[in-house]
Amino acid sequence: MSELVSHHISQGNKNFVASSGGNAGLALAYAGYKLGGKVKVIVPKTTSQFMIDKISRLNADVEVFGEVWDEAHQHALSIAQESYAIYVSPFDDSLLWKGHSTIIDECAEQIGEVDTIVLAVGGGGLLCGVLEGLKKHGWMNTKVITTETEGAASFAKSYAANELIELDAINTIATSLGAKKITQAALDRSAEFNVQPLVMTDEQAIKATQLFLKEYNVLVEPACGTAVAVPYLFPELLSKDEKVLVIACGGANVKL
């Protein structure tokens, strides 16, 4: 998010409006706080007061609107247009993808090329960035396992159909995955790689967060639990001689 905020501030734009289920809004609020931007975040009713308070403490204005993220998104677009602010999508922006791609830069520097990457998919922003990083480093043979819950599997369904599929509703405890429709770029970029979508139950995602907490003393949210679930609950998808990177993202929007 700092990549996006610093770019627009350098162009003289300091006002930002975002829609978010929580994490992206927190990231924007933090970047704005550090870099001198003014931030307003629109969150749906599914966002916890715990997360709203976190965002507010970073001097961001938070408004609750809509039952799900998609409704908050449309409202945020209107506000941004009326106030001449920069609209910040939680996943559909090339500047965000560029920032996410640096995960692969760090991976290349610290552990070298990997055989498999595991990551959770909501709207597809992280996936776009990771694939951008893989392409940059020429790691075209790296397998990418994408993870979602059954109530938010917009990527898996779109990938299977080879076209964008919009879900009728979001029905999952992993609310950070709650985009009814992924960005087209995620589908387009995935066509260049060996991508394997994995969909699991809420219970499996939660079980994985408990196992991760026990092993690493780190509490992540259920959305992230879908990614860490792969080595814990789906080890048959990996082989012991592989070099595997599991991206554990998302711990701000949860409490025990």
Q: Domain residue spans in the chain?
A: 2-88, 94-246
Percentage of residues in the chain with pLDDT exceeding 90?
85
The rounded distance, in Å, linking the Cα atoms of 179 and 34 is: 28
The single-letter code of the amino acid at 10 is S
Confidence category of residue 232, pLDDT binned at 50, 70, 90: very high
- State residue 46's pLDDT score: 84
- State residue 252's pLDDT score: 78
- State residue 256's pLDDT score: 80
Confidence category of residue 253, pLDDT binned at 50, 70, 90: confident
The rounded distance, in Å, linking the Cα atoms of 109 and 131 is: 17
- State residue 251's pLDDT score: 77
Confidence category of residue 1, pLDDT binned at 50, 70, 90: confident
The rounded distance, in Å, linking the Cα atoms of 161 and 190 is: 13
- 182-214 burial, b if ≥16 CB within 10 A, otherwise e? bbebbbebbeebebebbbbebebbbbbbebbee
- State residue 243's pLDDT score: 97
Provide mean pLDDT across the span 193-222.
97
pTM: predicted TM-score of the whole model, two decimal places: 0.89
Whether 88 has a pLDDT exceeding 80, the answer reads yes
- Residue of higher predicted confidence among 20 and 86: 86
Whether 62 has a pLDDT exceeding 80, the answer reads yes
- State residue 35's pLDDT score: 94
- The torsion region of residue 121 among left (phi > 0), alpha (psi -120 to 50) and beta comes to beta
- State residue 48's pLDDT score: 85
- State residue 4's pLDDT score: 92
Which burial class, exposed, middle or buried, applies to 226 when counting CB atoms under 10 A from its CB (0-12, 13-18, 19+)? Answer: buried
Kindly give, in sequence order, each residue whose CB lies less than 8 Å from that of residue 101, ignoring residues fewer than 6 positions away.
129, 130, 132, 133, 136
Residue range 94-246, CATH number? 3.40.50.1100
Residue range 2-88, CATH number? 3.40.50.1100
What sign does the CA torsion over 105, 106, 111, 115 have? Answer: negative
- State residue 241's pLDDT score: 92
pLDDT digits (tens, 9 = 90+) for 169-183: 989 999 888 889 999
Provide mean pLDDT across the span 136-148.
98
